[in-house]
Structure 1
Amino acid sequence: MDMSEDRNNAMEARKEPFWVFGYGSLCWNPGFQYQQSITGYVKGFSRRFWQGNTTHRGTESKPGRVATLIEDKEGITWGKAFLISADDNAALPYLSTRECKLGGYRTHTVNFHPRPNLFGSSSSSLSITEKKNALLYIAVPENKHWLGAAPLPDIAKQILECHGQSGPNAEYLLRLADFMREEIPEALDEHLFSLERLVRKFASDMKICLRTLMGEEPQEEKQEVKAVVPSYQFASRIPEKKLRCVNM
């Protein structure tokens, strides 16, 4: 892994498409143009909600918590990679502002492994076994927004209480969990789904409607029917719960 931030400039100078790997909000809200996207994973890392955020999902006085990666020899982190055109002059400056200047992240290069296509489709330009170099944004303990480890209930309560320019901190967590459940159902992320479970429990205890919090219309009773959860999903992958809104 290249630990130098100069890699960002080097990638800008290249005259060929390149990949950016997202494992947080980029998975469901990239915010830039791309030629192709594909799910997959990087090895040697685990996802943790240890990075503080004072703009998008929190404030200076009440920072939220967002995902970063920590080095873990046995770790695998799933997410989505985006292929950016060589002549795209907007994506990297946008990401530099969003991830580095405002988020406190640094740029690295990793090997990205595309997810094996379980249905045998050949629509992807990447073969099942092919891996690619990809840009990756990681927050390290030296950055000013770093919050570090904490008991999971404390992290969940902080996420539920915080709000930033991009919306509630809880929305970040829940949309990331939804992305993983819908697009990579076979992947396991105990940290992510434990936090999701706790946030939903605390919201229910506090009579907080998460759908309203996320700016969504409450579902009617007739929309309650959901597909049966396949048996191959892990026990920690709890089905999404219906939360009733309470007028307060």
Structure 2
Amino acid sequence: MSVGPTVSYLQDHVQDSETKCLWIFAYGSLCWRPGFHYHKSVRGYISGYSRKFWQGNTTHRGTEENPGRVATLIENKEGCVHGIAFAISEETAIPYLNKRECEMGGYVTTFAKFHSDHGQCFQVLLYVATQSNPQWLGDADLTEIAGQIIDCKGQSGHNVEYLIRLADFTRQHFPFCHDSHLFNLEKEVLKKLKAKNISVSTLMGNGEGCVQFVKREPRNSSPSLEEQPVRFESFQHAAKIPEKTLRCLNL
């Protein structure tokens, strides 16, 4: 059994024929723990949504008695959410995702237009939670949400791990985008952990099943891909909040 992150390479360009594949948009834990086979991963964003920790979770990051808080997408005409589009490579991916996201997570499926970093647009399947599902928790004060996250864990690990890995992933791969809800919630959780004298690293799990994405360099570039070091997050100094607040632009 392998423990720790595995390496996957993000692509810049998608062939026209590949846009006809089924693509899955990841904006939560699928970003760093997809759990299914795919043959290409591309950075980009969808517009018309904002990411919020308004969905409850009683399996992966919480229990029936103590539900955790995980991300969902809320319609917002001015919003955009950055994440990863995965081109799925085998028929087992959809049943796996339906069980993970719909049956266990309370999400439903819809489609949206994905804008890649390379400027291409194509349809992606995404999983969103609605107010009609029984696990819905909705909006709350950030202090209250942070308190819930600190107190919850489920079969996939601690709720704090979910938040920290998502914030770290967003900072690393989309440094120009400041998700105020995500980063302010992270800041509040870190403040509460410090007050309780709890180390973040003790809540991060062993990284099994996680993916570390690195940018694939163009051919004939220097240094070669093999010569480039791959850095894995240790979370020893997790979640350093950038001092500048940047607006998220639809580029």
* In the alignment, structure 1 residue 61 sits paired with structure 2 residue 65: yes
1:150 CA drift (Å): 0.2
Q: Which moved more, 1:207-216 or 1:171-180?
A: 207-216
Matches within 5 A, 1:99-178: 99-115=101-117, 128-178=118-168
How many percent of aligned residue pairs carry the same amino acid?
52
Amino acid at match of 1:131: C
Q: Secondary structure at the match of 1:43?
A: strand
| Greater length-normalized contact order (CA 8 Å, ≥ 6 residues apart) | 2
Tell me if structure 2 keeps the 8 A contact 1:177–1:193.
Answer: yes
**Count of residue pairs the alignment pairs up:** 199
* Contact in 2 for aligned 1:58/1:64 (Cα 8 Å): yes
SS at match of 1:68: strand
TM-score of the pair, normalised by structure 2: 0.75
Equivalence for 1:6 = none
Matched residue, 2:35: 31
Moved >2 Å (runs of 4+): 223-226, 233-237
Residues 81 and 198 (structure 1), Cα distance of their counterparts in 2 relative to 1, 3 Å cut: same
RMSD over aligned Cα atoms:
2.3
Residue pair 2:201, 2:236 contacting (<8 A) in 1 also: no
Return 5+ residue gaps in structure 1 as ranges: 1-15, 116-127, 218-222, 238-248
Residue 205 of structure 1, aligned match among 191, 195, 201: 195
How big is the shift at 1:140?
0.3
Q: 1:130 to 1:71 in 2, by over 3 A?
A: same
Q: Which has the higher strand share?
A: 2
| Contact persistence 1:194–1:236 (CA under 8 A) | no
In 1, the alpha carbon distance for the partners of 2:237 and 2:163 equals: 24
Aligned residue identity for 1:57: R
Which residue of structure 2 aligns with residue 12 of structure 1? none
Q: Deviations over 1:68-112 (max 9, x none)?
A: 000000000111110113xx1110000000000000000001000
Contact 2:58/2:154 (<8 A) preserved: yes
The reply to whether residue 187 of structure 1 matches residue 177 of structure 2 is yes
User: Separation in 2 of the partners of 1:199 and 1:37?
Assistant: 30
Change (3 A) 1:113 1:199: same
Q: Distance in 2 between matches of 1:198 and 1:29?
A: 24
Paired amino acid for 1:182 = Q
1:73/1:212 CA distance change after superposition, 3 Å = same
Partner SS state of residue 188, structure 1 = coil
Asked if the contact 2:112/2:125 (under 8 Å) is kept, the reply is yes
Q: Which residue of 1 aligns with 2:98?
A: 96
In the TM superposition, residue 210 of structure 1 has moved relative to its aligned partner by: 1.1
Distance 2:245 2:202 in 1: 25
SS in structure 2 of the partner of residue 35 of structure 1: strand
Which runs of 5 or more residues in structure 2 are unaligned? 1-19, 208-234, 247-251
